[in-house]
Amino acid sequence: MSRIGTLSENSLHAALKGWYGRPGDRFEVSVDGFVIDIVRDDLLIEIQTRHLYALRPKLAALLPRHPVRLVHPIPREKWIVRVDANDAPLSRRKSPKRGSVLHLFDELVRLPTLLAHPNLTLEALLTRQEEVWRDDGQGSWRRRRWSVADRRLLDVGERALFGAPEDLLRLLPAEWERPFTNQELAAALHCPVGLARKMSYTLRQLELLAVVGKRGREHVHVVQRP
């Protein structure tokens, strides 16, 4: 028996599971050989904090027979808590990085047709989190070998539910039907152009955008509504 996800449960996952649950829900239930976070009537709910692409084989097994809701938290605000090798606190600071619903595309770009299955819904939760860094010399060189020991939930703010591929078009600028490049999309959404490229790629794979030409070196896209 295996979990839908591949990550071991950390504080963030456990807290979100408690926050999301309702009276009558069942937790950690075996369904078709997988342990599901929450079962609500006939709906299977899985909370995946990152690496949505790792779910591909499990979703392929479950979706033909079950409705599944995939819940993904995005840190709108994050605090970095540093601890020593024995977990004694050293410092706490606010990260300058801020997440938004657009950061779903950091995950969807590696699984671009995720929402194409009629039995799948995707929910983004914008959260405030703490990330605990431990000075143990075993982490990434980008963090100067500090390990991410845990992630903790502070609270949950906005929620966004996507039940069909075309729901993702809500994330485009309002009533934005004119042809556009990734540079123009990034400027309109006030996001990095790299994120705009992930967004346009995903929407193209879902046949919600089409390339109609080029402007300089940039592809020009138009919206294709179902």
Q: Are residue 87 and residue 64 in the same domain, yes or no?
A: yes
Q: Are residue 221 and residue 117 in the same domain, yes or no?
A: no
List of residues 6+ apart from 216 with CB closer than 8 A: none
Q: Are residue 199 and residue 146 in the same domain, yes or no?
A: no
Domain boundary among 139, 163, 187: 163
Domain extent, residue 205, equals 171-226
CA within 13 Å, CB half, 73: 27
Dump pLDDT digits (tens) for 8-56.
458 999 999 999 999 999 999 999 999 999 999 999 999 999 899 988 8
Q: Are residue 36 and residue 81 in the same domain, yes or no?
A: yes
Q: Are residue 146 and residue 209 in the same domain, yes or no?
A: no
Dump pLDDT digits (tens) for 117-170.
999 999 999 999 999 999 988 878 878 889 999 999 999 999 999 999 999 999
Both tokens of residue 178? 């004119």
d(CA 6, CA 148) in angstroms, rounded, equals 17
Q: Domain containing 209 — which CATH number?
A: 1.10.10.10
Does residue 95 sit in helix, strand or coil? coil
Question: Is the whole-model pTM more than 0.85?
Answer: yes
